[in-house]
């Protein structure tokens, strides 16, 4: 009885959107989003681990409705998934960040804006006032951090997400081979890719080259190149003391992203953190990192009781979102799924991805015999 096929059925899954995005946008943009670190084993491990989570269906039940409402930090979100922070989002498709934030507001799902977004945080807060969260890459300079947090608070963001898992810049081989740098350096490869993807190029010309607009004001002098600036911007390892300082400065919901180690979770509880996103950055930082599924499975009872547990890395279907809830994550996020949607369909891709996830969650819950996502717990796991 599901009637949620309110999306373009030429691309009925995130996998189909990925295939189309690969054809439609330059390879350096596709590789930037798709790529992982080193040999990309971690990225594959993430996907395989979700496939391995088995759920046992229950029948002899009425499943005419399946409620997806998920309450996080006192807000009733309409669905148990949201958009992970993705830096340089408008490179995938010009206007992608504003379109995704607007679609998230309309659908009532969380949208996390990256520090390194290419749309100003103030603009995003205007279009997504009820659902916008801000992701903080912690600046080395305390005064820069304070200024940035002041702007985030003033703009009205609903939660702050501090990313812990980039103590060092990543070596992503695809980006290196593509010569991807900002501002774009027009190598023959980049020029050829732009020429052979004219719709993307024209849109990019109209909107202007993407730039890290939230943080450019903190650049010192003309001589600091952008790549160097970004490297210097971040703290090389966010310390416990710095998180304490952030806790004092930010009185709203505070989330740590990229946590996988049990003692780090205990520290989070001690520091008065409200939630965690169990994540390995989508396999983009440490190729040996455990999958998020593994870390979720091994989460202590204390962490589950005291923290709002959320997850990302490798989630591609509504069924994965239901699996995540069975493992204890009240909210799932994805980065690549949404940006493949943008690459495949332009700004229309935002609603397409949201509606695919919504439909798949609905069908999965009903097929399992579960009347609401709130009821999904470990008892549904096989074994
Ligand atoms: C292209 C790209 C850029 C990203 N930029 C950021 C970022 O600026 N801040 C951050 O905390 N995480 C960033 N991430 C990680 C995502 O927030 C998220 O953890 C990851 O995408 C989840 O895995 P998935 O893409 O497999 O769904 C980025 C991921 C991608 C793919």
Distance 29 CA to ligand 1 centre (A): 14
pLDDT greater at residue 292 or residue 203 = 292
Question: Which tokens belong to 185?
Answer: 């350096």
157 domain-assigned:
yes
379 domain-assigned:
no
Q: Which of 11-15, 48-52, 206-210, 306-310 has the lowest mean pLDDT?
A: 206-210
102 domain-assigned:
yes
48 domain-assigned:
yes
Pocket test for ligand 1, best of 87, 148, 163, 320 (most atoms within 8 A of CB): 87
320 domain-assigned:
yes
Residue whose Cα lies nearest atom 15 of ligand 1: it is 281
377 domain-assigned:
no
- Mean pLDDT for all residues in the chain: 94
382 domain-assigned:
no
User: Coil, helix or strand for 112?
Assistant: strand
Residue whose Cα lies nearest atom 3 of ligand 1: it is 86
In 3-state terms the chain splits into helix, strand, coil percentages (rounded to 5) of 45, 10, 40
Confidence band of 229 (pLDDT split at 50, 70, 90)? confident
CA distance 259 to 253: 17
- The pLDDT of residue 219 is 86
* Domain total of the chain: 1
Residue whose Cα lies nearest atom 21 of ligand 1: it is 335
CA distance 140 to 321: 35
Distance 63 CA to ligand 1 centre (A): 35
- The pLDDT of residue 225 is 66
pLDDT in tens, 110-163: 999 999 999 999 999 999 999 999 999 999 999 999 999 999 999 999 999 999
Percent of the chain with pLDDT over 70: 96
Cβ of residue 136 lying under 6 Å from some atom of ligand 1: no
- Residue 218: how many CA atoms within 13 Å on its side-chain side? 22
Cβ of residue 32 lying under 6 Å from some atom of ligand 1: yes
Here the CATH number for the domain that contains residue 360 is 3.20.20.70
Cβ of residue 135 lying under 6 Å from some atom of ligand 1: yes
- What value does the mean pLDDT take over residues 271-277? 98
Domain holding 320, by residue range, is: 14-370
Q: Which of 9-18, 179-188, 339-348 has the lowest mean pLDDT?
A: 179-188
Percent of the chain with pLDDT over 90: 85
Residues recognised as catalytic: 281
CA distance 271 to 145: 19
CA distance 168 to 235: 9
381 domain-assigned:
no
How many other CB atoms are found less than 10 A from the CB of residue 5? 11
pLDDT in tens, 344-376: 999 999 999 999 999 999 999 999 999 999 999
Atom of ligand 1 nearest to the CA of 92: 1
Residue whose Cα lies nearest atom 11 of ligand 1: it is 163
**DSSP at 37:** S
Distance 2 CA to ligand 1 centre (A): 31
């Amino acid at each position: 009885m599901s009637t949620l096929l309110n999306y373009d059925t030429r691309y009925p899954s995130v996998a189909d959107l990925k295939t189309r995005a690969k054809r439609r946008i330059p390879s350096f943009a596709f590789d930037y989003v798709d790529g992982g670190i080193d040999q990309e084993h971690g990225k594959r491990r993430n996907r395989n681990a979700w496939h391995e989570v088995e759920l046992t269906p229950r029948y002899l039940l009425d499943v005419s409705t399946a409620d997806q409402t998920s309450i996080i930090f006192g807000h009733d979100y309409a669905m148990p998934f949201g958009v992970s922070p993705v830096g340089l989002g408008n490179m995938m498709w010009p206007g992608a960040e504003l379109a995704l934030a607007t679609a998230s507001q309309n659908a009532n799902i969380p949208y996390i804006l990256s520090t390194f977004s290419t749309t100003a945080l103030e603009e995003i807060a205007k279009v997504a006032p009820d659902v916008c969260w801000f992701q903080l890459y912690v600046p080395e300079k305390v005064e820069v951090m304070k200024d940035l947090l002041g702007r985030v608070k003033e703009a009205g963001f609903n939660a702050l997400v501090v990313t812990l898992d980039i103590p060092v810049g990543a070596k992503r081989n695809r980006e290196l081979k593509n010569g991807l740098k900002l501002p774009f350096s027009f190598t023959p490869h980049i020029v050829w890719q732009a020429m052979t993807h004219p719709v993307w190029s024209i849109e990019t010309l109209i909107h202007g080259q993407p730039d890290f607009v939230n943080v450019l004001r903190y650049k010192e002098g003309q001589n600091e190149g952008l790549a160097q600036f970004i490297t210097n911007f971040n703290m090389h390892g966010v310390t416990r003391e710095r998180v304490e300082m952030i806790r004092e400065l930010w009185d709203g919901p505070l989330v740590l992203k990229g946590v996988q180690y049990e003692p780090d979770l205990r520290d989070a509880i001690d520091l008065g953190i409200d939630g965690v996103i169990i994540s390995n950055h989508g396999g983009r930082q440490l190729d040996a990192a455990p999958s998020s599924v593994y870390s979720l499975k091994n989460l202590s009872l204390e962490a589950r009781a005291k923290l709002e547990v959320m997850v990302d890395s490798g989630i591609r279907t509504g069924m994965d979102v239901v699996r995540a809830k069975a493992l204890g994550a009240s909210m799932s996020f994805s980065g690549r799924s949404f940006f493949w949607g943008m690459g495949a369909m332009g700004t229309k891709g935002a609603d397409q991805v949201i509606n695919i996830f919504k439909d798949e969650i609905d069908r999965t819950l009903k097929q399992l015999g579960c009347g609401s996502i709130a009821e999904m717990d470990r008892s549904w796991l096989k074994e």
